[in-house]
Amino acid sequence: MKIFFVYMMSNKSRRLYTGITSELVKRVSEHKNKLRDGFTARYTFDMLVYFETFSNPQAAIFREKEIKGWRREKKLKLILAVNPDWADLSTEWHEDPSWSAIPGAMPRREN
């Protein structure tokens, strides 16, 4: 079964980018290495600060659009509720080998 991710990237100035993908590890690497043209490359989004998992692509698309429609304050509350230290969640991928066993990434929450 394919897993879909809605995620938020940030940078040192705490600018936010919300996206959707079925390959979270690959997409985060693309953002960090500026391999995707446009907004994310211009503002150096190099920290994964939040993500959710979905088994249904339509639910993931709906959630991405929902979050993108929120005011910044609401997005910050969502991030800080699960990541109060504003840590780069992708650093866990190097520390925990179980991440590599699952295509895309290891799910944190199933919706």
Sorted by where each begins, the domain ranges of the chain are 4-101
DSSP β-bridge partners for residue 52: 6
Per the rule left: phi > 0, alpha: psi between -120 and 50, beta: everything else, 34 is: left
pLDDT value at residue 20:
97
Q: Which of 27-31, 70-74, 75-79 has the lowest mean pLDDT?
A: 27-31
Q: Is the pLDDT of residue 93 over 70?
A: yes
pLDDT mean across residues, the chain: 86
For domain 4-101, give the CATH number: 3.40.1440.10
d(CA 98, CA 83): 20
